[in-house]
Homo-oligomer: A and B are copies of this chain.
Amino acid sequence: MKIRVAIVEDDKNYNQALKNIIDFQHDMECVAQFFNGKNALQKLEALEPDVVLMDIQLQDLSGIDIVFKLTELMPGTTFVMCTSFENDEKIFSALRAGASGYLVKGDPLDKIIQAIQEAHKGGAPMSFAIAKRVLQHFQETKVQVQTLLLLTVTEKEVLELLAQGLLYKEIADKKNVTIDTIKKHIGNIYRKLQVSNKIEAINKFNTKN
């Protein structure tokens, strides 16, 4: 069985180039070409393609919104964003919306063919440039991690529980100490992190992820 691929891309030339290279492969075929978001949103579901190559910057709709809506309705279909370079927020929004892969248009066409195969196998093809952005997203939290080194083991445990939404009383019970002890720990945590309430402390603690 050939991999059934649909293309959503409003640049006519690029769309056609993608179709040509896909149809040239022995293991995949292009079953639809869309040149705007509205058509794609209406007709993709019935087509049941295996993989959709989706541009983000369409004139009428955002490719991210389309993916967000369709991933609900089409669990058997894999969406790969294939777009010009975007800012980090766009990238992460697309990933959150349910895209399985993210390529940039600068990638050579054979990379895109490989990506379609990988996506269909359940992988997550990403351009190196995109993968790097994603990694940087994680590494930005490193600074915060270091400020946490100031805290003692007990304090970190308390902060962890606090971040889960537990009340002072609940933390005290869980650790079998009095609530005054917990208050003391939390006071010390606030002083060390230079904050004055739960939320600020947790914001320094979390960021992650």
In Å, the complex CA distance between A101 and B135 comes to 8
Task: Tell whether, in the assembled complex, residue A135 and residue B141 are in contact, meaning their CB atoms are under 8 Å apart.
Answer: no
> Contact flags (1/0) for A172-209 with B, using CB distance below 8 Å?
00000000000000000000000101111011001111
In Å, the complex CA distance between A163 and B198 comes to 10
Checking B124, B132, B139, B167 against A123 with a beta-carbon cut-off of 8 angstroms, the contacting residue is B132
In Å, the complex CA distance between A16 and B135 comes to 29
Copies of this chain present: 2
Distance to closest chain B CB from A117 (angstroms): 11
In Å, the complex CA distance between A145 and B67 comes to 14
Checking B123, B126, B165, B199 against A165 with a beta-carbon cut-off of 8 angstroms, the contacting residue is B199
Checking B125, B142, B206 against A131 with a beta-carbon cut-off of 8 angstroms, the contacting residue is B125
Task: Give chain B residues whose Cβ lies under 8 Å from the Cβ of A126.
Answer: 126, 131, 135
> Contact flags (1/0) for A48-65 with B, using CB distance below 8 Å?
000000000000000000
Max chain B CB contacts within 10 Å: which of A122, A134, A135, A145?
A135
Stretch touching chain B among A2-10, A38-46, A91-99: A91-99
Distance to closest chain B CB from A88 (angstroms): 10
In Å, the complex CA distance between A164 and B195 comes to 12
In Å, the complex CA distance between A123 and B96 comes to 22
> Contact flags (1/0) for A87-127 with B, using CB distance below 8 Å?
00000100111111100000000000000001000111110
Distance to closest chain B CB from A196 (angstroms): 9
In Å, the complex CA distance between A7 and B123 comes to 27
Q: Pick 15 A–B contacts, CB within 8 A, sort by A.
A: A95-B139, A96-B138, A96-B139, A98-B142, A100-B135, A123-B129, A124-B132, A124-B135, A126-B126, A131-B131, A134-B134, A162-B199, A165-B197, A165-B200, A202-B202
Closest 6 CB pairs of A and B: A123-B128, A124-B132, A95-B138, A165-B199, A124-B131, A165-B200
